[in-house]
Amino acid sequence: MTANNSFRITLRTVTPLYLGGAERQPELRTPSLRGLLRFWYRAMDPDFRKHESSIFGSGGKGGAGALSISFPDVPLKPNLYNIQTDEKESPGIKYLAYPFYMKGGDRKAVRPGSQFSVLHTIRPWADRELSDLTRKAVVAGWWAICNLGGIGNRSRRGFGSVTCVGVETDWPEASDTGVKLTPSSTKEWIDSLKNVLSKESGLFKRITSGEHSCLIQGSWILLLAQDKRKEGYNRWQQALEYIGQKYQEFRKNRKLSENAALGLPIEDRDGTKVRGVKHERSASPLIINVVCIDGHYYPVVTLLNCRVLAPDEQVHLVEKHMEKTIARPSANFVTAFHDHVKDDLLKGVEL
């Protein structure tokens, strides 16, 4: 039974879900999910600066936001997922999981097929406008998490992918025919993608400029399939292995300085490292996900607008006791990944 200010979503893990916690125990935490929903809200609403603290809260005087998040069911139980043994014949998956398999592969993860629910409620003091915005932010956020991103560590590299298996709510945004949280076909999936991000009728207006991670003109989203047959894979391992090998191929014969465009820091096996002078760490603009549609698995690759380096920032190569300035990576480097996988493209959307 749900009230008109609540939204309960039930999810199933598609790929291993790595989460933080004491002694590396996978543990779902409300602050982490709140932060993830906030990230995707910022990626889609051009007016996020006006509203995000009212919706999600702030650490300052603003206090709690309109959105409350809780877990109504028994917490997820960690299982020992050992990449070294479970995926010993899967170099692509191991590549995406780096560095988790380097320390004995004993990092615990929630196994694929596990289910959990998240309950969202809007606090009673929220006025109508704030309630409307909060509902949009939640629905848009979960749509993006299920279709573009994931949850937890290495979620930008295909781990922590989840699929929606049920929603309990009477929020109109969740029942909107254009927003499919559980698409039943690849056509529905791509139609939902276009509807959510539409300039005219999307959940939010289209972002036209921004220096943060966002979906903007020049971004693209690719749904990939098995070559030749253009069908989905029967197992999540096949989908993740395919995109892992493609990603490894793309990076393999390129300079470390070029690969810096995919996020910082970059470190080679011999300890050589590439880092920005101002940014020791920067998130990758390329996000890999695995979606489950009608029982089949498809890799999804999303390119966000994401500034890895400041406009005037130098890039340093650090090897042993020497550090030197090297050329910045080309702005077109990441977009070349589109061409690298184009033969296996099933559907694609460019903003």
Question: Over the chain, what is the mean pLDDT?
Answer: 87
| CA dihedral sign of residues 235, 236, 242, 245 | negative
What does the alpha-carbon distance between residue 205 and residue 209 come to, in Å, rounded to a whole number? 12
Predicted TM-score of the model (pTM): 0.92
Task: Domain of residue 63: give its range.
Answer: 6-196
What does the alpha-carbon distance between residue 14 and residue 27 come to, in Å, rounded to a whole number? 17
**Range in 124-133, 140-149, 321-330 with the lowest mean pLDDT:** 321-330
Q: Judge whether residue 30 has pLDDT over 60.
A: yes
Domain count, the chain: 2
Tell me, yes or no, whether 49 lies in a domain.
yes
Q: b vs e for 216-246, b when ≥16 Cβ sit within 10 Å of the residue's Cβ?
A: beebbbbbbbbeeeeebbeebbbbbbbbbbb
333 confidence band (pLDDT: 50, 70, 90):
confident
**Mean pLDDT score, 276-287:** 88
Residues 33 and 144 both lie in one domain: yes
Tell me, yes or no, whether 142 lies in a domain.
yes
**Range in 19-33, 83-97, 215-229 with the lowest mean pLDDT:** 19-33
Looking at residue 2, its pLDDT comes to 44
Residues 25 and 99 both lie in one domain: yes
Residue with the larger pLDDT of the pair 251 and 103: 251
What does the alpha-carbon distance between residue 332 and residue 335 come to, in Å, rounded to a whole number? 5
Tell me, yes or no, whether 309 lies in a domain.
yes
Tell me, yes or no, whether 203 lies in a domain.
no
Element (H, E) at 149: none
Tell me, yes or no, whether 238 lies in a domain.
yes
Element (H, E) at 267: strand 266-267
Looking at residue 21, its pLDDT comes to 58
**φ and ψ at residue 47, rounded to 5 degrees:** -100, 25
Looking at residue 88, its pLDDT comes to 67
254 confidence band (pLDDT: 50, 70, 90):
confident
- pLDDT tens readout for residues 138-197: 999 999 999 999 999 999 999 999 999 999 999 998 887 678 899 999 999 999 998 898
Residues 191 and 91 both lie in one domain: yes
Q: What is the DSSP letter of 123?
A: -
Q: What single-letter amino acid sits at 21?
A: G
CB atoms within 10 A of CB 346: 17
